[in-house]
Amino acid sequence: MEASFITTVLLPLSLVIIMLGMGLSLSIADFKRILVYPKAVAIGLVNQLILLPLVAFALIQLFGLQTELAVGMMILAACPGGATSNLISHLAKGDTALSITLTAFSSLVTVITIPLIVNFAIGRFMPNAEAAQLNVVHTLVSVLVLTIIPVSIGMLIRSRAQAFSQKMEKPVKVLSAMFLALIIITAVLKEKENMLEFFIQAGPVALALNLVMLAIGFYDARLLKLTVRQSTTVSIETGIQNGTLGIAVAVTIIGNSEMAIPSVIYSLIMFVTAGFVIYMGNRSIKDN
């Protein structure tokens, strides 16, 4: 995907809008909530920031994924959570407050972990290629501008004009979904000649990553005595990745469209598995 209006303007703008929308649903209380759910938050963050990249790396080795697609899968693994996971957790009757808290904290930490994980992946899977190591400071600033700053602006708007922020939440979510659909369609059309081959190579890894992390998230939470609602949320936060951020890192920051393919494929797969998670959540969790 060569530099174009889509990649240089629309893609970053869409991510900013998505993160702004997430900020409209956050408050300082969401960050203080770690005092209420210390164990649940700790389990979720360990799953997202440590287990997720390790499992992704293991699956890449197992399936023999190589070069740009392998790096793209690690980029995806470096982008946990997102506004989508909050919505899915709500629809699956999970603990929405815990979901928002985990998303808030993981969004802060990934500013640091994304450049570290991506540089490791480039060095490991493309050591002799032209792909340069990311400048950590530049990448940190880029991710900060694309994620933390719009989230902070959204939170500020909510704190100063709560009625307005509540009114804007739905339109912003609809606009975000439209942008995401446009980006995925553009990426698929741009790589249409190779898309089937890419899907054959990266699809099984993306599906396995999604299913394995959903299972790990639920069962390690249950093993550590979290409630079913909390375990459902930890599962969703662990297994649902921020595909939009993954695409933005690959295309906007690195400038490699092939590295965005795993995030595109994952975004398509995710909606199918999310539907199943929502169905199972509604079956297993009864309202009081």
Q: How confident is the model over 195-249, as pLDDT tens digits?
A: 778 888 999 999 999 999 999 999 999 999 898 889 999 999 998 888 888 888 8
Residue 80 DSSP SS3: strand
pLDDT in tens, 25-44: 777 776 776 677 789 889 99
> Is residue 3 in some structural domain?
no
> Is residue 1 in some structural domain?
no
Q: Please list the residues that pair with 11 across neighbouring strands.
A: none
Predicted pLDDT at 167: 78
Q: What is the CATH number of the domain that holds 134?
A: 1.20.1530.20
CB burial of residue 100 (10 Å; 0-12, 13-18, 19+)? buried
> Is residue 14 in some structural domain?
yes
**pLDDT < 70 positions in the chain:** 1-10, 30, 33-34, 82-83, 129-136, 173, 176, 180, 183, 187-188, 190-192, 285-288
- C-beta separation of 81 from 107 below 8 A: yes
- C-beta separation of 265 from 202 below 8 A: yes
End-to-end CA, the chain: 50
Residue 241 DSSP SS3: strand
Residue 183 DSSP SS3: helix
Sign of CA dihedral 71, 246, 92, 107: positive
> Is residue 4 in some structural domain?
no
Which residue pairs from 37-41 have beta carbons closer than 8 angstroms and sit at least 24 positions apart in sequence? Answer: 37/95, 37/98, 37/101, 37/230, 39/224, 39/226, 40/95, 40/98, 40/221, 40/226, 40/230, 40/233, 40/234, 41/98, 41/101, 41/102, 41/105
| Count of domains for the chain | 1
Which residue pairs from 133-140 have beta carbons closer than 8 angstroms and sit at least 24 positions apart in sequence? Answer: 134/253, 134/254, 139/114, 139/115, 139/253, 140/111, 140/112, 140/115
Q: Which domain holds residue 215?
A: 10-281
> Is residue 2 in some structural domain?
no
**Separation of CA 12 from chain center:** 15
- C-beta separation of 262 from 3 below 8 A: no
Q: Please list the residues that pair with 241 across neighbouring strands.
A: 80
- C-beta separation of 87 from 237 below 8 A: no
> Is residue 286 in some structural domain?
no
In terms of Cα–Cα distance, which of 146, 143, 139, 109 is closest to 122?
139
| pTM given for the model | 0.82
> Is residue 233 in some structural domain?
yes
- Measured CA distances, 222 to 43, 56, 67, 81, 274 (Å): 11, 22, 37, 20, 20
